[in-house]
Amino acid sequence: MALSGVEIFKLLPKTNCKKCGQPTCLAFAMKLAQRQATLDLCPDVSEEAKQKLGEASAPPVRPITLGSGDKAVKMGEETVLFRHDKKFVNPCVFALEVKDTLSEADIAAFCNQVVDSEMDRVGQKLRVNAIMISNESGDAAKLEAAAKTVAAKAAGVPVIINTTNAQAAETAVKLFADKKPLLFGANASNLEAMAAVAKSNKASLGISAASLEELSELTEKAKGFGVEDLVLDSGARKAKDMIEHNTLVRRAAIKKNFKPLGFPVISFAQRGDSLLEALVASVCIAKYSSIVVLSSIEKWKNLALFTLRQNIYTDPQVPMQVEQKIYNIGDPKADAPLFVTTNFSLTYFIVSGEIENSKVSCRLAVMDSEGLSVLTAWAAGKFTATKIAAFIQESGIDKEMATKELIIPGYVAILSGSIEEKLPGWKITVGPREANAIPAFLKSRA
Amino acid sequence: MAFTAPKESYAGKVYSVTIGTGDKAATIGGENVLSFHSFEGETPNRPLVAFEIQDVPPTDWPENVRKVFDGVSDDPVKWAKYCQDELKAKAIALRLVGTHPDRENRSAEDAAKTVREVLAAISVPLIILGSNHAEKDSSVLIAAAEAAKDKNCIIGKAQEANYKTIAAAAMANNHKLIAMSELDINLSKQLNILITQMGFDKERIITDPMCSALGYGLEYTYSVMERIRLAALTQNDQTMQQPLLADVGMYVWKVKESQAPESDLPQWGAAEERGILWEAETATALLIAGAELLIMRHPRAAAAVESVIEELV
Ligand code: SF4
C-alpha cells in the first residue's frame, strides 16, 4: 500500500536538518508521498526506513526491459488507467509468434519479416519489437534449433522463449543469456525450476495462472526464488476476459499499490483470421497489455496497429495547437508553392502529411488561430483576410520566393479577393477544400 | 498479501434508447459500467452497427469500398435492401449527402421522397443524416422527419447552429436525435442542455462527440468519449448519459491509408485489406472508449467488428 505523508514522516530522522532541500522532515515526507522527491535526498535516513519506504515508493508497475542494445524495449511504469489523465508511458510490445514445428526456412522467413517491419510514421520509427519462440513440438532439441535460427536471422531482436519445460528452457534461454530475454511458461507446477533458469540467465520470467488470485501467489513465490522481473499472464484468452483481467490488474497495481500484480501483462491475440486478430490486438493496445503476441505481421496490419499504439500512447497534455510559423516540407526552393492554414494541430498534421505524400517540396504557413480548424477559425473571425495578409507580410517569406503566390484553403475561397487587395503584388490561388486533394492539386500544377 | 478484485460500482447509468419499430427494433445503451465491463455491472445491450447508404451514388467513395455496392448503389432503395437482406444489417444509416448545395443540391422534397421509399423497403431501424450543411440540413431534416413520422428513426445531426429546428422536427414526429459537437466534452454537454431546455426528452438523444479516423485524431475522439462516459457513470451527470455515436466510415474512407494503392506505397501493404482494417480498427477503438452506435461502410469491416463484439460480450 502507498504510505501517506504522515506515515512516511514517522520513519524519517525528524531532525529538520534541511539537507534534503526541504525546510522540515514533514515537508520532505509530503513530497515523497506525492512522488515529487526521492528518498536518496535525505542522507541520514535509517536502513530500516529505507527498506520500508523503498518498497512503498517503487513505481506501481515495475519497469522491465526486454532485449538489449538499440532494439531493447521498456515495459511497465504505468501510472494511470485513462490516457486523458496522463500519458501512458511505455508503448506495448508487438511480438510475432514463431513455432518450433516450422521448418528452418519458414522460421528464417518470419525473422526477415520482423527485421523488415520497421517503418516511419510522423517522425517515429515503429516496428514489430520481439519474437516469441514457442516450444509447440514439446521437444527441447527443436526449441533450441529454432532459437538458434532466430538468433542468427534476427540478431538483436528481443526474444521471448515460450515453454513449460525447464530443461528445454535452459538450453534455449542460454543462447540469449546476456540479452535480457523473457522466459515465458512458468506456472504452479514448474515455478521453482523455471525461476532458477531465469535467474541464472538474467532473464525476466513470464508466469501463467488460471486466475488473478493464483497469479498473485505465484509472483510472490517467484520473488522468493530471487526473480524480480516478472510478466503476468492471467490465463485470459478471450477479448472479454482480457478487458476484465487487464483492468483489474491495472487497478490493483495503481489504485491499491498491490505489489504482487505490479508487473507488465502479456496478451495473446492470435486468431485464425488476421483481420480479427488485428482487432483483438487493438483491444489489448487500448486496455493495458504490455506485450501483444501476434501470429502474422502483414504490412497493412502492422501499419494499422503501429498507428493505434501511437495514438493511444501520445501525450494528451500536449495542446492541440502548433506554433505559428512557416514550416518547410521537403526542401523548398525559390519556386516552391506556399500554402496557408490554421494552427489546429490536426489541421496542421493532415495538411503537412498530404503535402509530404505529394512528394513536392512546399512551404506551409501556419497561422495562429487559437487552435481552431479552418472553417471554425474563419467563422470566429480568427482567420480573416486582414490577419492572413498581415501574417504573410510580417513573415518576410516573399524574399525567398521567386513568384509571390499564396495558396489558401478551398473553404475560404471567399477571402481570395480581399487578401489580394491587402497583399499588393501577390497572386492568391484557391486550393482544395479537403487536404486529401492536395497531392492531385500539386500534380495538376506541375 | 491476498488479492481482492478491485471492482467499481458507479452511481450513474447510460440511458437505454430504442430505435425502429416492430420486431426489428433495436436497443442500445443501458449499461451502468464502462464498455464491456460486464464483470462488475450490467451491460444489457450489444453495440449496434448501422450500414451507411446515400441518396446519391457514392462517386466520392474510394474504389475499394465503392465497388462492393456496384449494381445497387445507383438507387437508395436497392442499396438499403441489399444491406438488410444480403449483408444482414441490423440498422441502416441514410446520408442525404445529395442535398448539399455543392453536390447535387437535391431539394428537401426529393430527400423526403427518398426517405419514404427506403422506409417502405426495409424493416430494420433507419438513421437519417443530413449533408452536414447547417443551413440546408434544417429544411431537409424537417421534411425527412415528417416523411418518417412515427417510425422511431434517429434524425441528425443537430449542431449548435441548427439544433432548434432539427430537434423540433424530431420531437414533432417521434424520433430520436443526434446531437453533434466538435471534440469537446463541455460543448457536448452544453448542446444536450440546450436541446433539453426546448422540452426535448434527454433520454431520446444520441451524443456524437465527432469522430476521427485512426491516425488522424482518433485519440481525441477516444478520450472525449471516455471522459463523457466517466462523467455519466462516476458523477451521475444526466446531461452526459446518452449513448455515444461513432460515425466511422465517413472519416475513415477519406484518409490516405484507406485508399493509397500498394503500387504507390509498397511499405503499406495490400490496399484493400488496409482500408478494411482501418475502418474496423477505428470502430473497435471507439467501442472500447464508449461508442454504442457505429455507422460503417465496408461490409467486411462491419463483419469483423461484429466478430470482435461477439468476443467482447
Ligand atoms: S535531510 Fe532528512 S533529516 Fe534532514 S530535514 Fe530532510 S528529511 Fe529531515
pLDDT digits (tens, 9 = 90+) for B170-228: 999 999 999 999 888 999 999 999 999 999 999 999 999 999 999 888 999 999 999 99
- What pLDDT score was predicted for residue A340? 96
| Distance between B186 CA and the closest CA of chain A, angstroms | 15
Pocket test for ligand 1, best of A9, A14, A18 (most atoms within 8 A of CB): A18
Query: Amino acid letter at A253?
Result: A
Q: In DSSP terms, which residues pair with B205 in a beta bridge? A: B177
Which of A147, A161, A154 lies closest to A66, judged by CA? A161
The answer, for A7 touching chain B at a CB cutoff of 8 Å, is no
> Which parts of A297-400 fold into alpha helices (H)?
299-312, 345-358, 374-379, 385-395
Q: How many CB atoms lie within 10 A of CB A307?
A: 22
CB-CB neighbors (< 8 A) of B289 in chain A: 286
Q: List, as ranges, residues 399-438 from A with C-beta within 8 Å of B.
A: 434, 436
Question: B29-62 as b/e, with b when 16 or more CB fall inside 10 Å?
Answer: bbbbbbbbbbbbbebebbbbbbbbbbbbbbeebb
Domain B16-312 in this protein, CATH class = alpha beta
- Residue A92 DSSP symbol: P
What is the per-residue pLDDT for A413? 93
The grid coordinates listed for A80 are: 494511470
DSSP, collapsed to helix, strand or coil, labels residue A336 as coil
First to last CA, chain B: 32
pLDDT in the model for residue A123? 67
Q: Is A108 left (phi over 0), alpha (psi -120 to 50) or beta?
A: alpha
Judge if the beta carbon of residue A393 lies within 6 A of ligand 1.
Answer: no
> Hey, what amino acid is at A373?
S
Report the pLDDT averaged over residues B270-277.
98
| Burial (0-12, 13-18, 19+ Cβ within 10 Å), B2 | exposed
Low-confidence ranges of chain A (pLDDT < 50): 1
pLDDT of residue A1: 44
Beta carbons within 10 angstroms of residue B280's beta carbon: 30
* CB of A21 shorter than 6 A to ligand 1: no
Q: What percent of chain B has pLDDT over 70?
A: 100
Look at residue B163 in the predicted model and tell me its pLDDT.
96
Grid cell digits, residue A333: 526552393
C-alpha to C-alpha distance for A57 and A34, rounded to whole angstroms = 10
- Asked if the Cβ–Cβ distance from B311 to A243 is below 8 Å, we say no
CB distance A388 to A419 below 8 Å: yes
- b/e per residue, A178-187, with b = 16+ CB within 10 A? ebbbbbbbbb
First and final C-alpha spacing in chain A: 66
Chain A residues 78-107 within an 8 A CB cutoff of chain B: 82-84
pLDDT of residue B256: 85
- In chain A, the domains with their CATH numbers are 5-57 (1.10.15.40), 64-312 (3.20.20.20), 325-445 (3.40.50.11600)
Query: Which of A240, A267, A268, A294 to mutate to test binding with chain B, by most B CBs within 10 Å of its CB?
Result: A240
Ligand 1 proximity of A17 Cβ (cutoff 6 Å): yes
Cα separation, A1 vs A367, in Å, equals 50
pLDDT in tens, B19-78: 999 999 999 999 999 999 999 999 999 999 999 999 999 998 999 999 999 999 999 999
- Of all atoms in ligand 1, which is nearest to the CA of residue A13? 3
What's the number of CA atoms in the CB half-sphere (13 Å) around residue A78? 30
Nearest CB neighbour to B277, from listed A275, A312, A436: A275
Pick from B277, B273, B282, B280: which is nearest to B213 by CA? B282
Would you tell me how many other CB atoms lie within 10 Å of the CB of residue B132? Answer: 17
* A275 contacts chain B (CB < 8 A): yes
Mean pLDDT of the residues in chain B = 96
The Cα–Cα gap between A226 and A158 comes to 23
CA distance A268 to A96: 10
Taking CB atoms and an 8 Å limit, are B257 and A303 in contact across chains? yes
Cβ neighbours of A212 (radius 10 Å): 22
Query: What is the structure's pLDDT at A319?
Result: 60
Owner of C-alpha cell 489489448? A284
Tell me if the pTM is above 0.95: no
d(CA A88, CA A428): 44
What ipTM score was computed for the predicted complex, to two decimals?
0.97
With a 6 Å cutoff on the Cβ, whether A20 touches ligand 1 is yes
Phi/psi region, residue B227 (left: phi>0; alpha: psi -120 to 50; beta: rest), is alpha
- Taking only the tens place, the pLDDT of each residue in A294-349 is 999 999 999 999 999 999 999 887 666 788 999 999 899 999 999 999 998 888 88
The Cα A101–Cα A95 span in angstroms is 18
Closest CA to A239 of A188, A292, A308: A292
Asked if residue B1 has pLDDT above 80, the reply is no
Spatial separation of the C-alpha atoms in residues B287 and A370, rounded to whole Å: 31
For residue A185, give the 3-state DSSP assignment: strand
DSSP state of A414: G
Which residue lies with its CA nearest to atom 4 of ligand 1?
A17
Q: Does the Cβ of A16 fall within 6 Å of ligand 1?
A: yes
- Mean pLDDT across B104-132: 97
DSSP annotation of A2: P
- Residue B271 corresponds to which cell in the numbers above? 490496399
Q: Mind telling me how many Å the CA of A44 is from chain B's nearest CA?
A: 31
Strand partners, A429: A407
Q: Which of B210, B179, B183 is nearest to B193 (CA)?
A: B179
Q: How far is CA A222 from the centre of its chain?
A: 28
Burial of A272 (0-12, 13-18, 19+ CB in 10 A): exposed
Beta-carbon count within 10 A of B202 CB:
15
Q: SS3 letters for chain B?
A: CCCCCCCCCCCCCCCEEEECCHHHCEEEECCCCCCCCCCCCCCCCCCEEEEEEECCCCCCCCHHHHHHHCCCCCCHHHHHHHHHHHCCCCCEEEECHHHCCCCCCCCHHHHHHHHHHHHHHCCCCEEEECCCCHHHHHHHHHHHHHHCCCCCCEEEEECCCCHHHHHHHHHHCCCEEEEECCCCHHHHHHHHHHHHHCCCCHHHEEEECCCCCCCCCHHHHHHHHHHHHHHHHHCCCHHHCCCEEECHHHHHCCCHHHCCCCCCCHHHCCHHHHHHHHHHHHHHHHHHHCEEEEEECCHHHHHHHHHHHHHHC
Q: Tell how far CA A260 is from the center of its chain.
A: 24
Is A377 in the B-facing interface, judged by CB distances under 8 Å? no
Longest dimension (CA), chain A: 82
CA–CA dist B86, B92 (Å, integer): 13
Hey, which residues does A340 pair with through a beta bridge? A365
Cell digits for B178?
A: 443526434
pLDDT at A57: 66
Nearest Cα of chain B lies from the Cα of A314 at a distance, in angstroms, of 8
Name the percent of chain B lying above pLDDT 90. Answer: 92
- Contact check, Cβ <8 Å, A307/B289: no
Q: Which of B84, B93, B104, B97 is nearest to B53 (CA)?
A: B93
